[in-house]
Structure 1
Amino acid sequence: MRTIRLVIEYEGTAYAGWQLQPNGLSVQEVVEDALVGVLGEKVRLISSGRTDAGVHARGMVAHFITSRDLPLSAFREGVNRLLPRDVAIQEADEAPDGFHARFDARGKWYRYTLHLGPVRSPLAARTSWHIRSALDFDAMSAGAAALVGTRDFAAFRSSACEARTTVRTIFSVELAREGDLLYIDVKGSGFLKNMVRVMVGTLLEIGMGKRHAGDMEQLLRQGCRTRAGRTAPSSGLCLMEVWY
């Protein structure tokens, strides 16, 4: 038996998220269907995690087990020929026996993109959140610094989050401006449901002067979701990379 590791890129606007859904088309479903066309058999993809509806990925990692003796090119070029234009296999390789895309992951990098300016951009609309207000980037950076470390992020998760513990380790939260785009890069060992999007919504309120950078420490201590900022739209979020 072979363990095949895939690195998958997708523009998630048309999908109900990564994971198979009973009432919506998922990225996992379209990739598994394309694999059937190449392998001639059904396989189940195990991913490094989930992305919600409308969230994108540049580096989603997934693996599957097969006994088929096909060249690795079949799992990239062959599968890509059967995938829609908004999903593509970027890498395909043979992983060691026992490799697990989820349990072996050591960290993830998420990027949230804000489009700044008075006029919306049709080209950026699917991959960013348009913000017309002026922002205090220094204040946002100060608030972001409070999120780094091993902390209880109960205030920064969806009410539908089913995680057993809300303690997570964040390696870094960095802001970078590139023209009209502001990137908020969050790297950590793991994330709660909607965690990055709630972080962004809270940082945005700091940037707009609606709350102080020092409020972050209080939010972390209180652990109350209703006191943190809004959940930023899914369109601006992208899973950039998973580390092993």
Structure 2
Amino acid sequence: MRLALGVRYNGQAYEGWQSQLSGRTVQDKLETALGKLAGKRISTLCAGRTDTGVHALMQVVHFDTEVERELVSWVRGTNRFLPSDIAVQWAHPVPDAFHCRANAVARRYLYVLSQSPVRPSLDSGRVGWSMYPLDGNAMRAAAALLIGSHDFTSFRASSCQARSPVKEMRRIVITRHGEGERCRWHFEFEADAFLHHMIRNLMGCLVRIGRGDEKPEWMLTVLEARSRMAAAPTFSPDGLYFVGPLYDAKWGLPAEATLQPGGGPYDGSP
């Protein structure tokens, strides 16, 4: 039987998703918990690997097992063995042909940014930070230049293993929450796929434009340069959330993981 799980986690304490010799990754913790529940080793695949310090609102994983459990047991039983900052949200049987990464038709990220004269404290590690006021209209104008299929080499980490730098950016929504010098900004991104560090590199450029250091048109100059050297430094991982992938309705996954007419649902704030 092949099962898909929706997993939510706070990434502050972990060295990203992918298993490491240290054992301090989300995949290591999840597979250990699943193994304790099933009584045998279980190996998982994920829809989108996250880096150190990056969070997930709905990471989707799949695995094969001969062990039979009620779906609620795969959720609550696994959570019993997980640390408090990782929790399975749902479990769903899927056909053997389902692949959580290959079958995703879109992926979504959210970056939460605190605009404040002083650095975050209570929400340290969960939000990015700008001590300077940001111009929302300038950032939205720059973001509009990224919509469509483009070569995103300028926003690609040198360690990126993607076969092609060409991705289709389908949606960027920038919203401000609160007034005055202290507020929060939400940056929502949706694309067919993303390159390594792509969102954090885009955020570096958007914040530079929002501060007034560059004009919105500079984003197009960076994009067309196809050189990482043309872009701003990589932004902090603290406020980055993998909102999750979207799939065709034929797989029968929960609504928050299913592509809807006119775009996919957004799963609230972290």
TM-score > 0.5, shorter chain as reference: yes
Code of the residue aligned with 2:21 in structure 1: it is P
Candidates 209, 228, 236, aligned match of 1:225: 228
Secondary structure of the structure 1 residue equivalent to 2:64: strand
Q: Is 1:188 matched with 2:191?
A: yes
Mapped to 2, the partners of 1:30 and 1:102 lie a distance apart of 20
Secondary structure of the structure 2 residue equivalent to 1:112: strand
Quote the sequence identity (%).
36
Mapped to 1, the partners of 2:91 and 2:68 lie a distance apart of 14
Per-residue deviation, 1:119: 2.7
Corresponding residue number in structure 2 for 1:25: 24
Q: Is 1:235 matched with 2:226?
A: no
Mapped to 2, the partners of 1:138 and 1:194 lie a distance apart of 24
Per-residue deviation, 1:226: 1.0
Question: RMSD of the alignment, in Å?
Answer: 1.0
Corresponding residue number in structure 2 for 1:113: 112
Q: What is the aligned residue count?
A: 243
Per-residue deviation, 1:121: 3.0
Per-residue deviation, 1:218: 1.5
Corresponding residue number in structure 2 for 1:156: 155
Which runs of at least 4 in structure 1 moved beyond 6 Å after TM superposition?
none
Per-residue deviation, 1:24: 5.2
Structure 1: any 5+ residue segments left out of the alignment? none
Per-residue deviation, 1:166: 0.4
Corresponding residue number in structure 1 for 2:201: 198
Mapped to 2, the partners of 1:69 and 1:88 lie a distance apart of 20
Q: Tell me which moved more, 84-93 or 173-182.
A: 173-182
Code of the residue aligned with 1:191 in structure 2: it is F
Deviations 1:59-93, CA, capped at 9 Å, x for gaps: 00000001111111111000001100110001111
Normalising by structure 2, report the TM-score. Answer: 0.88
Secondary structure of the structure 2 residue equivalent to 1:164: coil
Matches for 1:167-182 after TM superposition, within 5 Å: 167-179=166-178, 180-182=183-185
Corresponding residue number in structure 2 for 1:143: 142
Matched-pair contact (CA < 8 Å) for 1:15–1:24: no
Matches for 1:114-133 after TM superposition, within 5 Å: 114-133=113-132
Quick one: structure 1 residues 24 and 208, their matched pair in 2 at CA, closer, same or farther if it must change by over 3 Å? farther
